[in-house]
Amino acid sequence: MTTDPVPLLPRGTRLHHDRVRDTMVLLVPERALLLDDIGAAILREVDGRSTLGAISSRLAERYGAPKADVASDVRDFLDGLAGQRLVDYQ
Amino acid sequence: MTDRPAPPIAMLAELTHRCPLSCSYCSNPLELTERTRELTTEGWIDVFRQAAKLGVLQLHLSGGEPASRRDLEILVKAARDAGLYVNLITSGIGLTPTRLNALETAGLDHLQLSLQATTADKADWIGGYRGSFARKLALAEEVLWRGIPLTVNAVMHRHTIDDVRTAIDFAANLGARRIEVACVQFYGWALVNRDALLPTRAQVVQAKDAVAEARLAYAGRMMIDFVPPDYYADYPKACMGGWGSTGINVAPDGTVLPCHAAATIPGVVFDRVTEKPLSAIWYDGAAFNAFRGHAWMQEPCRSCARRDHDHGGCRCQAMTLAADPTATDPVCRHAPARPAVDHILEQQAPSVSPFIYRGSKR
């Protein structure tokens, strides 16, 4: 794996707008993860083409936050999902 | 109840009780529903649409063997169209490559494959069906090359729990991203077969170590979920995450239950989707409100610091072991009925009893 991998949602993992609860959820094998605004914002950028660095830059710009902080949050969040095989890095 | 309950997240739809296997720990009730009493295709589609509207996100299509329903592909498509995440819980028997193609086209999200054992002789003996293991393996290969996300559900009991590491390695070789190592819980058929199925304490201790080792070995490759047998626990499981809080089950004839064993509790009346809207059953039905909140609890649950954590444990187990569905789950070390569990563990037969296989409704 490179130091700046491209995260992607594998088959079986889908971002979904839950109309009943009016929130974003990550639908995964046999579970539904209710997302907060930050989690949803990160996963919306996971398109299977953008690197972690590119995703962090876009989010840092959009929210006016220091890129280093955003990059570390993005990495932690996606690493947590990757550890559960809900995100793949390539 | 004063607060309106949150909407359910998951639905377990038992499409049929028919199954080519007859495992002695089947979670279906002792009284199996006949094919002629099953909901129609249109009946199930209506249930799925109502479920999505109510807030259900995850749909688990189960049985029996759901592939015994010839309209499975139609049901998967309808559930996806309703916005649900569709998981198929199957033994793999009855799923041909052609049907798998159709299920993929219909939008199946994920497949959970049961694993009775890791060798043909043992698996066929446990499932009561010669040749079932070979057919399951053939199906698993079809699932793997298609890339359908796969969870293996390895059922653990006295005869299989020593093979837990083999089962985990087996699942990894099948390409599973996740394995559920699920120890048999004692309701229905498994309760009838408890003497034959209950593992020893030494077996459970060894299995826990094996699972911990495997988690390290497969970190980042495969998720390993472990459900230990609760008779050996100090505190009860948070059954269903709390009665009527996240899950809703529909039996083949449309009876709506808070869990698949709930019908064993006498005096509780269960509504049917053919007679009442699903949302009325969830929010206002007597069965779903029977054990919500704390008012129904006895001591020591009512004043226990863990009451919102484990919700007093399992109501069906309280019924089974303490003859009172409002009692503290007898596996809890504070439960007045805990001696009943200890007695069962002490009386464990040194020799192995034969299985009583699940009866068949085909």
Residue B65: how many CB atoms within 10 A of its CB?
23
Query: Which residue on chain B is closest to A12 by alpha carbon?
Result: B109
Cβ of A32 within 8 Å of Cβ of B87? The answer is no
pLDDT in tens, A26-66: 999 999 999 999 999 999 999 999 999 999 999 999 999 99
- Which pLDDT belongs to residue A1? 57
Q: Which residues of B touch A82 (CB under 8 A)?
A: 220
Residue contact B57–A32, C-beta within 8 A: yes
Q: pTM of the prediction?
A: 0.96
Q: Which residues of B touch A88 (CB under 8 A)?
A: none
Contact list, B54 vs chain A (CB under 8 Å): 20
Query: Which residues have CB under 8 Å from A37's CB, separation 6+?
Result: none
CA-based nearest residue to B264, from B185, B207, B219, B318: B318
Q: How much is the pLDDT for A66? A: 96
pLDDT at A2: 67
Minimal-distance CA residue of chain B relative to A31: B58
Cα separation values, A86 from A8, B84, B335, Å: 9, 18, 39
Chain segment B22-69, per-residue pLDDT in tens: 999 999 999 999 999 999 999 999 999 999 999 999 999 999 999 999
Alpha carbons A14 and B290: distance in angstroms, whole number: 35
Interface residue A72 vs chain B (CB under 8 A)? no
SS (H, E, C) B144-168: HHHCCCEEEEEEECCCCHHHHHHHH
Reported as a single tens digit per residue, the pLDDT across B211-264 is: 999 999 999 999 999 999 999 999 999 999 999 999 999 999 999 999 999 999
Q: Which residues of A touch B148 (CB under 8 A)?
A: 11-12
Does the CB of A27 have a partner CB in chain B at under 8 Å? Answer: yes
Contact A25 B110 (CB under 8 A): no
Nearest CB partner across the interface for A82, out of B83, B220, B222: B220
pLDDT of residue A79 exceeding 90:
yes
> Distances in Å between the alpha carbon of A63 and those of A54, B65, B232, B353?
14, 50, 50, 65
Decide: B100 and A29 in contact? Cβ < 8 Å: no
For residue B362, name the pLDDT band (cuts at 50, 70, 90).
very low
pLDDT digits (tens, 9 = 90+) for B167-201: 999 999 999 999 999 999 999 999 999 999 999 99
Choose the mutation target among A21, A35, A78, A85 for the interface with B, i.e. most B CBs under 10 Å: A85
Conformational region of residue B241, where left means phi above 0, alpha means psi within -120 to 50, and beta covers everything else: left
How far is residue A41 CA from its own chain's centroid? Answer: 7
pLDDT > 90 in chain B, percent = 95
Confirm or reject contact between B85 and chain A (CB < 8 A): yes
Task: Among B54, B178, B221, pick the best mutation site for testing chain A contact (most A Cβ within 10 A).
Answer: B178
- Asked if A82's CB is within 8 angstroms of B151's CB, the reply is no
